[in-house]
Structure 1
Amino acid sequence: MSTTTGARVEFRALRRTFGTTVALDGLDLTVEPGELMALLGPSGCGKTTALRMVAGFDHPDAGQVLVDGTDIVNVPANRRDAGMVFQSYSLFPNLSARDNVAFGLRIRKVPSHARRTRADELLELVGLPTQGNRFPHQLSGGQQQRVALARALALRPRVLLLDEPLSALDAQVRLTLREEISRLQKELGITTIFVTHDQEEALSIADRVAVLRDGRLEQCDTPVDLYRSPATAFVAGFVGTMNRIPGHLTGDGAVTVVGQRLPVTGTAPAGPEVDVLVRPEDLRVSADDDGDARVVTASFLGATTRLFLRLPDGAGVKADLPTRDAAALTPGTQVLVRLVDHPVMVAAR
């Protein structure tokens, strides 16, 4: 069982500009002790800038960064209790894996025997018990990133900062390493902030995900709630796959779409012509000679098959069905399309 040793990290009204570009625009966000928080958003949304504020590599124009209630904005980077892992590994090429891990301990004048013991413990922890004598060029990309992770953990930081650490790796290595990061984080109980533009990574390992847009927080929630109950149309469209199906507001808190009348959740635009936001798994599709939609393509994804459908108005939509139910829905089949009967979110067309 892990013991939570992580710190509470708070961003309060954090603002940072670069010339006329606003990177952070009053960011307010709290990361709880021992939590793995993913910062997710498109390029330029401010997620890496926020991470650099905690590390001490950048300073805000206004606002505070608090660690356990203490503002650290003016604390030098080398005096902050944080470890950081970069996308590019940033290992010293002339040092062995063991010496890379122990580098920070050496700077702090920890005795050589204690450094070696700690480095070997961490190499064991990250799955590289026999690689200590190898140099970075003798390691694969995934192994180098494991060494970088061990190095960040060597000083027992209370906050671990991960800046897109998996983006330079191939798909299978990414999957394996993100599972390892999740395991280590839970085992050590360390507060972790994970920056990524990959929503699958964020949703698969984070306790909560903060979605940023133009330097502002759109929503912070658990992966399940973020996916199933997006707070804004932007979050709905950014997280997961989302269809936009033409609909018509009826003026009484409902919308008509593909022949159905459904209640609207959230704030509706002025309308009346809107797009209804629907997940592919929330579409029901059945073969029907009188149906007004048509199957264009069917993509086998294992247990699920994704259908691309063409509606009578020309709109294309994606529907995810169990493969056994989709077997007969081959390209060209006329189908009837219906939405799951629950409130829907709408956006301006």
Structure 2
Amino acid sequence: MNGARVEFRGLRRTFGTTVALDGLDLTVEPGELIALLGPSGCGKTTALRCVAGFESPDAGAVLVDEEDITRVPANRRDAGMVFQSYSLFPNLNARDNVAFGMRVRKVPAAKRHARAAELLDLVGLPSQGDRYPHQLSGGQQQRVALARALALEPRVLLLDEPLSALDAKVRVALREEIRRLQLSLGITTIFVTHDQEEALSIADHVAVLKDGRLEQSGAPAEVYDRPATPFVAEFVGTMNHLPGVLSGDEVEVVGQRLPVHGPKPGSADVDVLVRPETVLVTPAEDGEAVVITSSFRGASVRLRLRLGDGTEVLADLPGHDAVRLAPGDRAGVRLVERPVLVAARAAAPAEVVLAGD
């Protein structure tokens, strides 16, 4: 299969007063797997359905290899889609489910049966062709749905949260299988998910959406390590909020001055956003921080510490470094010397006064 180039140009879609897509501009390169990531209602599934032809945008265009397909009927688009709910035909066995699209296109029976058997083997179900959907596990049903989407050799593969209904272990195994197949076939793939771990582990590029707009697009490491906005920083991974004072292009936080990148709020009092793995912790009898909890996480240990001003901070340390620190111990805290994001200081929650107090 040859991957196609997919472009979203100024895509806008509204449902009544709700704006699902608000001028989305995004390009997916041939053979690339891109993950559309964001919270519920951010527009990621609407964008996918606009490529599939199940939604018509109010403005803008969808192009595949520079051809405008915005008004092309869904059944004439060279795209295969895998739905969250699998959508297998319960009265057809796995082989016939995979072959269904080929039967609609009047592919000769011998050829479509051979192709269906080939695809079931490709997705790891060579002996399940005679089984009906109710006789298959959730992971097996999803593999059949994937084989069905690939049967017509589409230029674009569309995956709408295909793993969300599966348990954690099966999800990991199947996402690795999807990535293996995508790489071996070289097919352009758009993968919709709200699971940031899933997006970072499977994609060549991650596009983070918020309120129908693109917040950031880039390689997984770039989006994680250099988030463009506080929203991206919060949504992709765990983030600490530490009080700081902004001065020009630097911020003072935990006794350090660090460079700032990204947008800056108008006030000097800010929250500094730092990841747990960039918090350095060392045992110190006169340290300003106290270890509250220590959670073993395999190769690392997550510490929760309370700073002198009462702020709590999470720190991820290699296991061999954290064994010297236990709840109640005092420690010194510093941050890795690198640019940080800042956001307007979050207002403290209002104090609740009970009647009679």
TM-score normalised according to structure 1 size = 0.98
C-alpha distance in 1, partners of 2:112/2:250? 65
Unpaired segments of 5 or more residues in structure 1?
Answer: none
2:155 is matched with which residue? 158
Superposition RMSD on alpha carbons, in Å?
0.8
2:219 is matched with which residue? 222
Q: Secondary structure of the equivalent of 1:152?
A: helix
Alpha-carbon deviation of 1:235? 0.8
1:286 and 2:286 are equivalent in the alignment: no
C-alpha distance in 2, partners of 1:237/1:314? 21
The count of aligned residue pairs is 345
Alpha-carbon deviation of 1:252? 3.4
Q: Deviations over 1:284-307 (max 9, x none)?
A: 101112111111111101110000
2:344 is matched with which residue? 348
C-alpha distance in 2, partners of 1:179/1:343? 33
1:260 and 2:256 are equivalent in the alignment: yes
C-alpha distance in 2, partners of 1:255/1:55? 46
1:307 is matched with which residue? 303
1:95 and 2:83 are equivalent in the alignment: no
2:351 is matched with which residue? none
Q: Which amino acid aligns with 1:44?
A: G
Alpha-carbon deviation of 1:65? 0.5
1:277 and 2:273 are equivalent in the alignment: yes
1:31 is matched with which residue? 28
1:173 and 2:170 are equivalent in the alignment: yes
C-alpha distance in 1, partners of 2:339/2:60? 38
2:229 is matched with which residue? 232
Q: Secondary structure of the equivalent of 2:328?
A: coil
Alpha-carbon deviation of 1:113? 0.3
C-alpha distance in 1, partners of 2:218/2:279? 25
Q: Which amino acid aligns with 1:262?
A: L
- More displaced stretch, 184-193 vs 260-269: 260-269
2:11 is matched with which residue? 14
Alpha-carbon deviation of 1:267? 2.5
1:46-195 residue pairs with structure 2 within 5 A? Answer: 46-195=43-192
1:324 is matched with which residue? 320
Q: Which amino acid aligns with 1:330?
A: A
1:199 and 2:196 are equivalent in the alignment: yes
Q: Secondary structure of the equivalent of 2:233?
A: helix
Q: Which amino acid aligns with 2:312?
A: G
Q: Secondary structure of the equivalent of 1:102?
A: helix
Q: Secondary structure of the equivalent of 1:241?
A: coil
Alpha-carbon deviation of 1:145? 0.1
Alpha-carbon deviation of 1:228? 0.8
Q: Which amino acid aligns with 1:211?
A: V
Q: Secondary structure of the equivalent of 2:62?
A: strand
Alpha-carbon deviation of 1:309? 1.1
2:350 is matched with which residue? none
Identity of aligned residues (%): 74
- More displaced stretch, 4-13 vs 130-139: 4-13
Alpha-carbon deviation of 1:190? 0.4
Q: Which amino acid aligns with 1:235?
A: V
Unpaired segments of 5 or more residues in structure 2?
Answer: 346-357
1:297 is matched with which residue? 293
Q: Secondary structure of the equivalent of 2:20?
A: strand
Q: Deviations over 1:100-157 (max 9, x none)?
A: 0000000001111001000000000000000000000110000000000000000000
C-alpha distance in 1, partners of 2:208/2:147? 28
Q: Deviations over 1:34-78 (max 9, x none)?
A: 000100001100000000000000100000000111111111100
Alpha-carbon deviation of 1:167? 0.2
C-alpha distance in 2, partners of 1:74/1:261? 54
